[in-house]
Structure 1
């Protein structure tokens, strides 16, 4: 299967590192022009430099702006007024005892993990439907279905994203635009490395710490290892392609078998 996204423009939010950077790389390899987003021009320019060095024939566009705010989202839309593929990847997470998460922290998680994605969808979905083609995706998490006790506030926002995705899929029904969420399992990123260090012995070597984390805190995983960001990106690239034209309104799993269910 050869996926060709030549002539398409994609925006990946929160794409200066981690899963977002891997998704930007995958879409660019498939031929898309990819807008890279982060909060500051400096971080975005640095990411575009790294991506361009890795893929010199690809086209990357810097689209800085804190999309957790209306002003930041407006700045991104000014730079990239129209996209064919929108990947709502931006998200924050962190361990905190449930009873210690105050109202301000709950609001912050909803602003970043949920409302930013809604904001960008409102900005770009009408253009997609008017052109009768488009792809909108939300990077959710196994935590949306199996809410972890150490970060309930994060899990609940990812659960909300599943509802957002399904609702906008209905809004786009019959237009040629597909809307899906991707349920990513425990993935090997710098942020997750820091998180693993918070919940297991920080003195352990990384490979041993990873195995201990999966054994104790994520025993449901059928992989028994962290997923690599490129493995998440592969699914996103497929869902962005014409081959996925009949997949919409779904919650597609790249979770390593973590969610113990036939359906999400």
Structure 2
């Protein structure tokens, strides 16, 4: 299968590292004009230059903005007035006991994980529908189906993304615009590395070993019995953004290694 996204403009939010970076690299390698996003201008610029080097002149730009605020989203819209592909990857996560999670934390997760995608989709999908072609993807999580007891606030926000994607797909019924959610399982991302950094330094164990041990202990239903790579997640997203995926819409596509115990 030859995925050709030449001439398509794509924004991947939170894409200076981790899953977002791998998605951006995959889209750029398929010919898309890619806009990277992060909160700090210097980090965004460094990521842009790195991707250009790795892909030898790929058409890559960057826009710095905090997408957890309406002002930040408006800054992106002002800088990038039109898109063919929107990948809503911006998100935060972290374990915390339910009884310790205050209203401010719930609000922070909702604004970052859900409202960033609401605001961006509300603007960019209108143009996609007018042109009768577009791809919107929400990077949710298997935790949106299998709510973790130690991250209920996170799981709820990921469930909301799945519902949002499904509703938007129905809104685009009969058009050439598709909307889907992609559900990674435990992934060896920069966020995961940061979460287990103290264990890595204390034990001298590799991040991959820690990740695989986490999967076996905390996600015992995993069929692959290991942590996934960011590239494995990106492969699914690039396909979903392709012309070949024109009949795939309104669905939650799992790249969870079989963690969720359903067919």
Q: TM-score, normalised by structure 1?
A: 0.96
Contact 2:4 2:31 in 1 (8 A): yes
Does 1:39 find its partner at 2:73? no
Deviation at 1:49, TM superposition (A): 1.3
Does 1:117 find its partner at 2:122? no
C-alpha separation in 1, matches of 2:140 and 2:150? 17
C-alpha separation in 2, matches of 1:49 and 1:216? 39
Range with bigger deviation, 71-80 or 189-198: 189-198
Output one character per residue of 1:75-106: Cα deviation in whole Å (capped at 9) or x when no partner.
Answer: 11111110000000000001111111011000
Output one character per residue of 1:25-50: Cα deviation in whole Å (capped at 9) or x when no partner.
Answer: 00000000000011121121111111
Cα 1:202–1:93, aligned 2, differ >3 Å: closer, same or farther?
farther
Q: What's 2:148 paired with?
A: 148
Output one character per residue of 1:114-150: Cα deviation in whole Å (capped at 9) or x when no partner.
Answer: 0001010011000000000000000010000111111
Q: What's 2:173 paired with?
A: 173
Cα 1:202–1:172, aligned 2, differ >3 Å: closer, same or farther?
farther
Cα 1:175–1:82, aligned 2, differ >3 Å: closer, same or farther?
same
Matched residue SS, 2:38 = coil
Q: What's 2:237 paired with?
A: 236
Q: What's 2:74 paired with?
A: 74
Q: What's 1:225 paired with?
A: 226
| Pairing 1:66-145 to 2, within 5 Å after superposition | 66-145=66-145
Contact 2:48 2:62 in 1 (8 A): yes
Matched residue SS, 1:150 = coil
C-alpha separation in 1, matches of 2:120 and 2:52? 25
| Pairing 1:55-70 to 2, within 5 Å after superposition | 55-70=55-70
C-alpha separation in 2, matches of 1:218 and 1:198? 21
Contact 1:5 1:31 in 2 (8 A): yes
Please, which runs of 5 or more residues in structure 2 have no aligned partner? none
Please, which runs of 5 or more residues in structure 1 have no aligned partner? none
Deviation at 1:211, TM superposition (A): 3.0
C-alpha separation in 1, matches of 2:113 and 2:27? 22
C-alpha separation in 1, matches of 2:199 and 2:256? 20
What's the RMSD between the two structures over aligned residues?
1.5
Deviation at 1:209, TM superposition (A): 2.3
Count residues in correspondence: 262
| Pairing 1:1-20 to 2, within 5 Å after superposition | 1-20=1-20
Q: TM-score, normalised by structure 2?
A: 0.96
Deviation at 1:200, TM superposition (A): 9.2
Contact 2:216 2:226 in 1 (8 A): no
Contact 2:188 2:211 in 1 (8 A): no
